[in-house]
Amino acid sequence: MYLLGIETSCDETSVAISHKRNILSNVTISQIIHKKYGGVVPEIASREHLQLITDVAEEALLQASIDSNKLNAIAVTNGPGLKGALLVGLNFAKGLSISLEIPIIGVNHMEGHLFSSFIGSDKVRYPFLCLLVSGGHTQIWLVNSYKNYDLMSTTIDDAAGEAFDKGARILGLNYPGGPEIEKLAIGGDFKAFKFPIPKIKNSKYNFSFSGLKTSLYYLSKRLDEKNIKASRKDIAASYQEAIIDTLIQKVKYLTKQINVYSLVVAGGVASNKRFRSKLDDFNNQGLYQISFPELKYCTDNAAMICMAGYEKFINKNFSDLSLLANPNLSMNE
């Protein structure tokens, strides 16, 4: 069963080929043009996807060493994401579906992240808690079985990735901010500056990150330029630690309440090494089975769209050519 997966929801143009749960190729081009704007410019993202998608798809087929006639279906992200960017992938998928006479499967981008831990692994078992930490989402889902998901926590303001991106901008670093802050934080003292771990009234499980970013902003105003330069590493380490501790605190609360011993962490922020190691520390007694995707499958990629598409394929959950791009698609649709 061969699938071609397409991901164009934001600023990564990616096409992958899979055979059942194995990834044969995964070609991803990150659109670096957005760096100079400090964030993703939607119109530019759509234009770049248009320019890249055919070459990326051809390269994915070449690297997988299979002919397009062997494909059984096309899995494509149809939301959530930037509308224009989604449309490029979706229309490309529809064209392929018509010319190859194979079905199309619409995939929710976040469900793609959720299934990214299944790539090349048969360790993940239902039920599990899934912590999705990306640039637009910070959520914990109780995944009972395929398509049986309960939302346990969500952010009431910014996402964790957004806190990294906005923090990086305050510190004069490039976009995306997560890897930049992680790099700068190496060797820094994470106890040097105190950032508040937000407490939300009547909502113990939910996340909030906007206060952290505001406190970084005021810290940067308080310190003069010379002091900022001297303490940049410590600031980055302390800020990163506060984001990570906020995430882990909610995981602790939830795992105490729910009898689930398998935890899957996915999304761009899951590639943060300090976060991965602090989650391992939290699990020092080995009570939980914690799964992370391989680093290359944490940030946006089409391999994860193949994995979610495969789950849909075996559940005969196909779409058709009327499939629409939905920027606000929710996980339970």
- Chain residues that interact with ligand KG4, rule: CB under 6 A: 10, 134-136, 161, 164-165, 176-179, 182, 267-269, 271-272, 299-300
Residue 138 binds Zn ion, judged by CB under 5 A: no
Count of residues in contact with Zn ion, rule CB under 5 A: 2
Amino acid at 238: S
Between 52 and 133, name the residue whose CB sits nearer to Zn ion: 133
Q: Which of 14, 26, 134, 255 binds Zn ion (CB under 5 A)?
A: 134
Annotate each residue in 266-305 with x if it binds Zn ion (CB under 5 A) or - if it does not, as one string. Answer: ----------------------------------x-----
Residue 153 binds Zn ion, judged by CB under 5 A: no
Q: List binders of Zn ion among 67-96 (CB under 5 A).
A: none
Considering only the stretches 67-75, 133-141, 165-173, 257-265, report the one whose residues sit in contact with Zn ion under the rule CB under 5 A: 133-141
Q: List binders of Zn ion among 93-122 (CB under 5 A).
A: none
Binds 178: which of ligand KG4, Zn ion, none (CB < 5-8 Å by kind): ligand KG4
Between 78 and 231, name the residue whose CB sits nearer to Zn ion: 78
Which residue, among 101, 69, 80, 106, has the nearest Cα to 91 in the 3D structure? 106
Between 71 and 85, name the residue whose CB sits nearer to ligand KG4: 85
Three-class SS state of 237 = helix
Between 176 and 198, name the residue whose CB sits nearer to ligand KG4: 176
Output the six-digit token pair for 271.
Answer: 């590639």
Considering only the stretches 91-99, 134-142, 270-278, 305-313, report the one whose residues sit in contact with Zn ion under the rule CB under 5 A: 134-142
Pair 243, 236: CB distance under 8 Å: no
CB < 8 Å & 24+ apart, contacts of 20-25: 20/310, 21/118, 21/119, 21/120, 21/122, 21/307, 21/310, 22/120, 23/119, 23/120, 23/303, 23/306, 24/63, 24/64, 24/65, 24/66, 25/59, 25/60, 25/61, 25/62, 25/63, 25/64
- How far apart (Å, rounded) are the C-alpha atoms in residues 205 and 258? 12
Residue 162 binds Zn ion, judged by CB under 5 A: no
Q: What Å distances lie between residue 89 and 93, 297, 301, CA to CA?
A: 6, 19, 13
CB proximity list for 277: less than 8 A, separation 6 or greater: none
Residues at the contact surface with Zn ion, assessed by CB under 5 A: 134, 300
